[in-house]
Amino acid sequence: MNELNYTSLPLSRKLVENGIDLKTEAVFCSDGLSGSKYDLIQRPLFPYKEQYPAPSFAELWRELPVSIERDGITYNKTLKGFRDVNVATYESLESRTVELFLSANPSDALAELLIWVKGREKG
């Protein structure tokens, strides 16, 4: 399984801590016996003692609104790559951006953007 297709364990935890509990095809799980070791696996048939949803790039992309409005300007979601860094943001046609999230893992960048969007919705 290509781990860059999924959020990292820290970002998976951060999503849950921010009240974003997605139904995903993969999870980080621990049986509680092997210390703090978590494995990324396809969603198990039975729940593990500890598990965190591990959203894929596609699952995160679908969760994000296509566009947002701010100060009368429409911003569209984008993900761009620059060398080894991925940049997730909302960008207007005039190349204005709101909140940039950078990560080597494109799924982590999108997860950070989703946390920001959900935080905005809460007010």
Per-residue pLDDT at 3: 72
Give me the mean pLDDT over the 64-86 stretch: 92
CB 63 within 8 A of CB 22: yes
What tens digit of pLDDT does each residue of 33-68 get? 666 788 888 876 666 667 899 999 999 999 999 999
Compute the distance between CA of residue 92 and CA of residue 42 in angstroms, rounded to an integer: 36
Single-letter amino acid code for the residue at 12: S
Residue 88: pLDDT above 90? yes
User: What is the tally of helices (H) and strands (E) in the chain?
Assistant: 3, 7
Percent of the chain's residues with pLDDT above 70: 89
Q: How confident is the model at residue 24 (pLDDT cuts 50, 70, 90)?
A: very high
Per-residue pLDDT at 95: 79
Q: How confident is the model at residue 87 (pLDDT cuts 50, 70, 90)?
A: very high
Per-residue pLDDT at 33: 65
Give me the mean pLDDT over the 11-31 stretch: 91
Q: Could you tell me the CA-to-CA distances from 2 to 40, 57, 119 in Å, in that order?
A: 10, 11, 29
Cβ contacts of 89 within 8 Å, gap of 6 or more:
77, 78, 97, 98, 99, 100, 101, 113
Per-residue pLDDT at 53: 92
Q: Could you tell me the CA-to-CA distances from 43 to 16, 61, 84 in Å, in that order?
A: 16, 19, 29
Strand partners, 30: 50
Closest CA relative to residue 79, chosen from 104, 55, 43: 104
Per-residue pLDDT at 43: 74
